[in-house]
Amino acid sequence: MSQKDLLKEWFKELPSEQPSPDFQVKVMQRVMSEWTLNPIKYQPIIGKKGWWTMGLIAFLLTSILFMLHSSLPSAAPAKTVYGLDLLQLFAPVSHLFEKLNSISPAVAIGVLAIIALWFFDQLFVRTIRR
Tell me, what amino acid is at 57?
Answer: I
Arithmetic mean of pLDDT, 91-116: 82
Arithmetic mean of pLDDT, 83-101: 76
Buried b (16+ CB within 10 A) or exposed e, 71-99: ebeeeeeeeeeeeeeeeeebeebeeeeee
Sequence-ordered list of residues with C-beta below 8 angstroms from that of 71, at least 6 positions apart, any chain: 86, 90
Arithmetic mean of pLDDT, 58-83: 71
Q: What per-residue confidence (pLDDT) applies to 75?
A: 53
Q: What per-residue confidence (pLDDT) applies to 74?
A: 61
Interatomic CA distance for residues 114 and 121, integer angstroms: 10
Arithmetic mean of pLDDT, 38-58: 82
Q: What per-residue confidence (pLDDT) applies to 106?
A: 84
Question: Taking the model in full, what pTM does it have?
Answer: 0.33
pLDDT digits (tens, 9 = 90+) for 71-85: 666 655 556 667 777
Q: What per-residue confidence (pLDDT) applies to 81?
A: 66
